[in-house]
Structure 1
Amino acid sequence: MWYAWLEAQRGLMQSLSNWAMRGCDAWTSPAMPCMPVAAAGYDWLYRLVRPTPAPPPFGIAAVTVGDRSVPVVEQVVDSTPFCALRQFTRAPAPVAPRRGQSRTAPPDIFLCAPLAGHHAVMLRETVETLLQDGDVYVTDWANARDVPLAAGRFGLDDYVLAVERFLRKLGGAHTHVIAVCQATAPTLAAAALLARAGEVPPLSLTLVGGPIDTRLNPTAVDRLAQSHRLDWFRDTVIDTVPPRYAGSGRRVCPGFIQHAAIVAAHPHRQLALESRYWSSRLSADATAIANSLRALNEYAAILDMAEDYLLDTIRVIFQEQHLAHGEWRVGGRRVQPPDLASTALCTVEGDRDDITGAGQTHAAHTLCSAIPVQKRCRWTIPDCDHYDLFTGPRWHEVIHPAVVRFWASVR
């Protein structure tokens, strides 16, 4: 039981963790202003040995819209035991419309965060950017270790049902949906189920770097999922939550396993974050230190995934490709993407994405066959890896402006 053993070791290291934190505080006190290397070393040691922390808050107090700083209010407006619907609301703009123009309310933006090892706060930069365009709602998935067994199981169907519930709450007439990575397939399914039920589907659906059809150009991630039986995953990556947590006894894929796999697959990203942090420490720039440490903490904000959800995803999305084959049923209801006739569809891929293969996200256009051509667009972003799709220069300078133009075209 690696989970219990690691928790025991972390408990033993708690004293060293506290010592390292005190050392970092000492070297960064006003009495010791010239020791940035020592401070960074102590802080790095603290981050290495501390127990798995709670995810950092989004902490978006205000955003810049045009030339104004607009306050932002964050609150949870709906929830299930495994997910909170987090709303970020901008203060009303005290600006009158120009002569001859009518004031139109900005759209609601529903950001479906992936449940693939990281907390939703990893998309904080994405949320902050989207707040320039309207109020933002985010699926903030729970750490399975913190969900009591009494709350029941959580599988891929439950994920779809949660997104469907939140879409219904928001209403589709003025809602633009963005789904990132793993979230793309279940979000497409939820929207299709709403349309099938005769309810108003989203105004638009933007799918970013996600596995809609994993038969196309499989990556190392796809090949791993497709080449091993479910029992192999059950025996290799599933463990039991130890007693110190509310979800004690729940079977999960622990976050520490996922984080190790992510760092091993993308060492350049971890190195870039660490390098940025050390550079800011050496420069003694307080703002840069805070920003770089926040980025590190967001990337390290890992969570446990429920066993049923992980194995369902491997089987349905990667091994049997139920969505691509038109065979996916959720609670007995068949997922039929052609039902999405009025929703505008945009797909975004990166040409250097080594998590989602080329064409896997664009495959949604084939599935959603009833959407008119004038309500579709697809972009493959040059010199863009998986994380560039929602953070950094590619997101800010290329993808976000293109998404805004897409939204303007379908209002």
Structure 2
Amino acid sequence: MWYAWLETQRNLMRMLGAWSLPAGDGSMQAPETRAAAMGYDWLYRLIQPPAEAPRFDIPTVRIGGRDVAVVEQVIERTPFCALRKFSRAPDVGAFLPEPGSDAPAVFLCAPLAGHHAVMLREAVETLLQDGDVYVTDWANARDVPLDAGSFGLDDYVLVIQQFLRATGSTALHIVAVCQATSPALAAAALSASAGELPARSITLMGGPIDARIAPTQIGKFAGTHSLDWFRNTAIDTVPPPHPGAGRRVYPGFVQHAAFVAANPDRQWALESGYWAAQCSGDERATASALRRLNEYAAVLDMTEDYFLDSIRVSFQEYSLARGTWQIGTQPVRPQDIVSTALCTVEGARDDITGAGQTHAAQTLCSGIAPAMRQMLTVENCDHYDLFTGPKWHDVIYPALTAFWRSID
């Protein structure tokens, strides 16, 4: 009911915005016009949220002092996810590997936890300096027709397995962020149990591998409320005219409100950055700040099955940590991973994933040799610092590339 009401209000605000505000691209040519309507693009974002998430839009990446063209393409797709590949141009000189060579690539498992994958745009740009990057770009459930079927946590794991095979690469480094850590580890474990080598390494960053350890407020809330409570309180039905009309979902607008309530400091920092750039008259900085705001606000609906499965498996039954998780009839056995190196990364100030929850994978993956392991706890680092900003660029990314070189 709330979903349909909110869509009605948004449609009304869009009509008012079209009548009272300039064209919605946020651009104003004359300086006097920009001065008269300072913050118009920010206001327009509130009045008329974009119907689609911002594009990754990475035309070039800086490598060896040169701007190298980047090609983006979708190489595999299911109704609920697209596998995007970002490739460096093959004709830019000898400092890039030849096409088809066994050069390392990164398989970035974006979390399906409310934000669109474009939240990881900064990480993709950075990782492109060393190789091609694959990204799981999860669909907004409101856009998936009912005849596409259901989608739960098991399906998520199987999609990752499918996409890993679709890359055709024997030199992958998996990087899973936040919620994606458990299903990515499960996919790697299933492949290892089947005698496959899923990747050269898997890096787990800020995810609830064992949410029993140092539980956060989010984890406590998820663990102390029944699935029926979430089903009756948080789930709504997608209204027309969305393609997924009739699908039961955890709406993105509810998740966005939860983000802002749980992380007001981050919202304030993003807003402050925008206004500081706007007041300085720096158009490039303003555009960059607005983009970060839009990426943070780009939320999606999650299917009811997937949302409730995630709560049950990670925060109520602790299935991965207890060794009781099954995908269909297949047990998830992290101890079967032997030839894939493991890196776990935590932020010391992460209030979403508690201290030790991600490092717990080191114990679960008992078959990996000590020389193929790394644990990294980053001081003065919160959850979002793990993949954006100075901590990502100056500490985490250099540590990852050094680890990958050591095992390559």
TM-score category by the smaller chain? over 0.9
Which residue matches 1:12? 12
Correspondence for 2:128 among 114, 126, 131:
131
3-state SS of paired residue (1:198): coil
Question: Which whole-Å CA distance do the structure 2 matches of 1:121 and 1:26 have between them?
Answer: 20
3-state SS of paired residue (2:38): helix
- 1:32-43 to 2 correspondence within 5 Å? 32=32, 35=35, 38-40=37-39, 42-43=40-41
Relative to 1, partners in 2 of residues 1:343 and 1:4: Cα closer, same or farther, differing over 3 Å? Answer: same
- 1:322-401 to 2 correspondence within 5 Å? 322-401=319-398
Question: Which whole-Å CA distance do the structure 1 matches of 2:91 and 2:317 have between them?
Answer: 49
Q: Single out whichever of 209-218 and 20-29 deviates more from structure 2.
A: 20-29
Correspondence for 2:251 among 251, 254, 260:
254
Question: Which whole-Å CA distance do the structure 2 matches of 1:31 and 1:173 have between them?
Answer: 54
Shift in Å at residue 93 of structure 1?
A: 5.5
Question: Which whole-Å CA distance do the structure 1 matches of 2:254 and 2:245 have between them?
Answer: 18
TM-score where L is the length of structure 1:
0.95
Relative to 1, partners in 2 of residues 1:4 and 1:24: Cα closer, same or farther, differing over 3 Å? Answer: closer
Q: Is the 8 A contact 1:183 1:210 kept in 2?
A: yes
3-state SS of paired residue (1:35): helix
Structure 2: state its 5+ residue gaps: none
Correspondence for 1:216 among 206, 213, 218:
213
Q: Is the 8 A contact 2:102 2:171 kept in 1?
A: no
Relative to 1, partners in 2 of residues 1:27 and 1:188: Cα closer, same or farther, differing over 3 Å? Answer: closer
Q: Is the 8 A contact 2:68 2:92 kept in 1?
A: no
Which residue matches 1:317? 314
Amino acid at match of 1:406: F
Q: Is the 8 A contact 2:197 2:339 kept in 1?
A: no
Correspondence for 2:78 among 72, 77, 80:
80
Question: Which whole-Å CA distance do the structure 2 matches of 1:399 and 1:49 have between them?
Answer: 37
Relative to 1, partners in 2 of residues 1:5 and 1:400: Cα closer, same or farther, differing over 3 Å? Answer: same
Which residue matches 2:263? 266
Q: Is the 8 A contact 1:263 1:270 kept in 2?
A: yes
Amino acid at match of 2:108: L
Question: Which whole-Å CA distance do the structure 1 matches of 2:307 and 2:111 have between them?
Answer: 12
Amino acid at match of 1:211: P
- 1:117-128 to 2 correspondence within 5 Å? 117-128=114-125
Tell me, yes or no, if structure 1 residue 71 matches structure 2 residue 69: yes
Shift in Å at residue 171 of structure 1?
A: 4.2
Relative to 1, partners in 2 of residues 1:330 and 1:291: Cα closer, same or farther, differing over 3 Å? Answer: same
Relative to 1, partners in 2 of residues 1:18 and 1:331: Cα closer, same or farther, differing over 3 Å? Answer: same
Shift in Å at residue 24 of structure 1?
A: 7.9
3-state SS of paired residue (1:134): coil
Shift in Å at residue 173 of structure 1?
A: 2.6
Shift in Å at residue 375 of structure 1?
A: 0.3
Amino acid at match of 1:169: A
Q: Percent identity?
A: 62
Correspondence for 1:205 among 189, 198, 202:
202
Post-superposition CA distance 1:378-404 (Å, at most 9, x none): 010000000000000000000000000
Question: Which whole-Å CA distance do the structure 1 matches of 2:233 and 2:59 have between them?
Answer: 42
- 1:50-65 to 2 correspondence within 5 Å? 50-65=48-63
Relative to 1, partners in 2 of residues 1:24 and 1:192: Cα closer, same or farther, differing over 3 Å? Answer: closer
Amino acid at match of 2:58: I
Question: Which whole-Å CA distance do the structure 1 matches of 2:165 and 2:24 have between them?
Answer: 48
Structure 1: state its 5+ residue gaps: none
Shift in Å at residue 49 of structure 1?
A: 1.8
Shift in Å at residue 94 of structure 1?
A: 4.0
Shift in Å at residue 11 of structure 1?
A: 1.3
The ranges of structure 1 where at least 4 consecutive aligned residues each deviate by more than 6 angstroms after the TM superposition are 23-27
Shift in Å at residue 97 of structure 1?
A: 7.0
Question: Which whole-Å CA distance do the structure 2 matches of 1:93 and 1:179 have between them?
Answer: 30
Relative to 1, partners in 2 of residues 1:31 and 1:105: Cα closer, same or farther, differing over 3 Å? Answer: same
Post-superposition CA distance 1:13-43 (Å, at most 9, x none): 112222454088799331625616x321x33
Q: Is the 8 A contact 1:27 1:33 kept in 2?
A: no
Question: Which whole-Å CA distance do the structure 2 matches of 1:25 and 1:89 have between them?
Answer: 29
Q: Is the 8 A contact 1:277 1:293 kept in 2?
A: yes
Correspondence for 1:306 among 294, 297, 303:
303
Question: Which whole-Å CA distance do the structure 2 matches of 1:121 and 1:334 have between them?
Answer: 32
Shift in Å at residue 50 of structure 1?
A: 1.1
Amino acid at match of 1:66: G
Question: Which whole-Å CA distance do the structure 2 matches of 1:329 and 1:68 have between them?
Answer: 48
Which residue matches 2:145? 148
Correspondence for 2:275 among 271, 274, 278:
278
Relative to 1, partners in 2 of residues 1:15 and 1:316: Cα closer, same or farther, differing over 3 Å? Answer: same
Question: Which whole-Å CA distance do the structure 2 matches of 1:318 and 1:52 have between them?
Answer: 32
Question: Which whole-Å CA distance do the structure 1 matches of 2:395 and 2:103 have between them?
Answer: 21
Relative to 1, partners in 2 of residues 1:70 and 1:172: Cα closer, same or farther, differing over 3 Å? Answer: closer
Q: Is the 8 A contact 2:102 2:170 kept in 1?
A: no
Question: Which whole-Å CA distance do the structure 2 matches of 1:27 and 1:290 have between them?
Answer: 10
Correspondence for 2:406 among 373, 390, 409:
409
Relative to 1, partners in 2 of residues 1:405 and 1:327: Cα closer, same or farther, differing over 3 Å? Answer: same
Q: Is the 8 A contact 2:177 2:205 kept in 1?
A: yes
Which residue matches 2:88? 90
